[in-house]
């Protein structure tokens, strides 16, 4: 950790008492700042309130009124990335021309570690994890650590890091809007679709936010970009870094690419694509992005191959759980929309028994019908949308359609519908909130049900 003094005796407002805000406040106190932390939760809901106050943080619970800014002479605002810029208190800060940053920016200022930044609409977490595992292979000093949107506060990781380390930082569009000097030596753009338009208002705003990952890069840095889309290829021209493409469709051989089912880096054979442990075209793309980083960081093909052949996936994202009686179980609880379930199904070339259903958001599932028809041999449906999904399954001419009340009932029934060699996949195509507090809780319950059914433990 660097010893910096730019925050000594500065008055700083931290907005949000989640993981990033709490860790930012703690770090700023260590750096000599005077910190006020504001959160719309009640005092009882701020779990670290007593600890924060014991180290000198002033905690303000309740409504985040712009009046907080009027009654204090602040030098800086550190904002939770999820708080929109049109929130009254943030708009007031902008009117007062106060600098507004996010916690990952603060973390980047105090670390000597080399930064690898990963952004994109899909695949960020899986790519970040693959890269981290590869960079921890063949090390003689230091370690690689993950941070950021992956769920690990960057400031906490930065404090523990040194110049021998790497930090692989997953960066959301919300985070990237709040950076000013964050400078990844290697930046990765997995893809860009049309996400979070409720926050960004327009797709162009969203694209502009994503491209901030490369804004501080120079000719000594690397920008790794998916070349399988014309827009993304064009965006790469806006970077001052060395562009390293990756392509699953053969659009470039100047970086990482797939050709005839084999993965290469600049014409050097790495491995067969079919040997990647987690299935799906999207995971071939994620692997290619990770390969590009690993080769820049001079990891061997043996190390890269080992990671891709053994990595079972990020929890709840087409995660391999275990195999029993020649059936493989996968947990894709993160599939909270139709598109995610489509991608999951397309990743398998064996018959799938699908478990799906969840919160009714008022849409139908006609879009899913072609993928159900092509990949699904049996389907077990639960939750509020089970009858709507039943209609889609009938359109797909699936013969084995079962409706149950909950996931606990769905797992053993899915097993009964399966044959040897089948895939049993939880990919709900719906949010979890009708029966579970989060998709993580839903996925954990699926794993527990699979373990109870098979008498085996999840493979990690």
If residue 116 lies in a helix (H) or strand (E), which one and from where to where? strand 114-119
SS3 169: strand
Q: Using the predicted structure, report yes or no on whether residue 399 has a pLDDT greater than 80.
A: yes
pLDDT in tens, 31-51: 999 999 999 999 999 989 999
For range 240-263, the mean pLDDT: 96
For range 294-314, the mean pLDDT: 96
Please give the sequence-ordered ranges of beta strands (E in DSSP) within 310-351, or none if there are none.
319-324, 327-331
pLDDT in tens, 416-439: 999 999 999 999 999 999 999 999
For range 101-126, the mean pLDDT: 96
Answer yes or no: is 123 a known binding residue. Answer: yes
For range 396-400, the mean pLDDT: 97
CATH classification of 319-454 is 3.90.190.20, yes or no? yes
pLDDT computed for residue 396 by the predictor:
98
Q: Tell me which fold the domain 104-310 belongs to.
A: 3.40.1190
Q: Using the predicted structure, report yes or no on whether residue 339 has a pLDDT greater than 90.
A: no
Answer yes or no: is 56 a known binding residue. Answer: no
Answer yes or no: is 125 a known binding residue. Answer: yes
Q: Using the predicted structure, report yes or no on whether residue 386 has a pLDDT greater than 70.
A: yes
How far apart CA 226 and CA 132 sit, in angstroms, is: 19
For range 137-165, the mean pLDDT: 96
Provide the mean pLDDT of the chain.
95
Which sequence spans correspond to the domains of the chain? 11-101, 104-310, 319-454
- pLDDT-based confidence at 382, cuts 50/70/90? very high
pTM above threshold 0.85 = yes
SS3 31: coil
Answer yes or no: is 127 a known binding residue. Answer: no
Answer yes or no: is 120 a known binding residue. Answer: yes
Q: Using the predicted structure, report yes or no on whether residue 71 has a pLDDT greater than 90.
A: no
pLDDT computed for residue 195 by the predictor:
67
Answer yes or no: is 121 a known binding residue. Answer: yes
- pLDDT-based confidence at 108, cuts 50/70/90? very high
SS3 86: coil
Q: Which CATH architecture has domain 11-101?
A: 3-Layer(aba) Sandwich (3.40)
User: For residue 167, how many other CB atoms are within 10 A of its CB?
Assistant: 28
Answer yes or no: is 126 a known binding residue. Answer: yes
Taking a C-beta distance cutoff of 8 angstroms, is the pair 446, 407 a contact? yes
């Amino acid at each position: 950790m660097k010893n910096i003094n730019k925050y000594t005796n500065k008055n700083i407002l931290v907005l949000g008492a989640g993981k990033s805000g709490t860790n930012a406040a703690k770090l700023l106190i260590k750096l000599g700042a005077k910190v006020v932390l504001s959160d719309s939760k009640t005092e009882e809901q701020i779990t670290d309130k007593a600890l924060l106050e014991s180290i000198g943080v002033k905690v303000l619970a309740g409504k985040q009124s712009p009046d907080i800014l009027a009654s204090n002479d602040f030098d800086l605002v550190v904002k939770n990335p999820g708080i929109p810029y049109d929130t009254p208190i943030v708009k007031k800060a902008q009117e007062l021309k106060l600098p507004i940053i996010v916690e990952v920016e603060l973390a980047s200022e105090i670390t000597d570690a080399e930064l690898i930044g990963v952004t994109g609409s899909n695949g960020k977490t899986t790519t970040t994890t693959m890269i981290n595992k590869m960079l921890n292979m063949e090390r003689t000093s230091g370690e690689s650590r993950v941070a950021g949107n992956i769920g690990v506060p960057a400031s906490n990781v930065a404090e523990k890091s040194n110049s021998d380390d790497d930090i692989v930082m997953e960066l959301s569009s919300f985070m990237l809007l709040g950076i000013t000097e964050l400078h990844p030596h290697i930046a990765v753009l997995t893809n860009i679709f049309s996400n979070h338009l409720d926050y960004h208002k327009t797709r162009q705003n969203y694209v502009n936010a994503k491209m901030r990952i490369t804004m501080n890069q120079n000719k000594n840095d690397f920008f790794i970009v998916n070349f399988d889309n014309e827009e993304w290829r064009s965006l790469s021209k806006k970077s001052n870094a060395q562009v390293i493409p990756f392509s699953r469709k053969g659009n470039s051989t100047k970086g990482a690419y797939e050709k005839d089912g084999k993965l290469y880096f600049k014409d050097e054979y790495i491995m067969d694509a079919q040997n990647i442990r987690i299935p799906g075209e999207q995971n071939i793309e994620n692997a290619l992005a990770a390969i590009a980083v690993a080769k820049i960081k001079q990891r061997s093909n043996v190390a890269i191959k080992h990671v891709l052949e053994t990595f079972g996936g990020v929890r709840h994202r087409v995660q391999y759980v275990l195999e029993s009686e020649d059936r493989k179980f996968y947990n894709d609880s993160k599939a909270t929309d139709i598109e995610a379930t489509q991608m999951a199904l397309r990743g398998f070339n064996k018959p799938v028994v699908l478990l799906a259903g969840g919160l009714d958001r008022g849409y139908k599932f006609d879009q899913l019908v072609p993928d159900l028809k092509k990949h699904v041999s049996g389907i077990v449906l639960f939750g509020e949308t089970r009858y709507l999904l039943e209609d889609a399954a009938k359109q797909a001419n699936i013969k084995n359609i079962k409706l149950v009340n909950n996931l606990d009932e769905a797992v053993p029934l899915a097993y009964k519908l399966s044959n040897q060699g089948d895939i049993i996949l939880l990919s709900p195509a719906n949010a979890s909130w009708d029966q579970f507090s989060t998709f993580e809780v839903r996925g954990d319950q699926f794993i527990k049900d699979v373990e109870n059914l098979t008498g085996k433990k999840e493979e990690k």
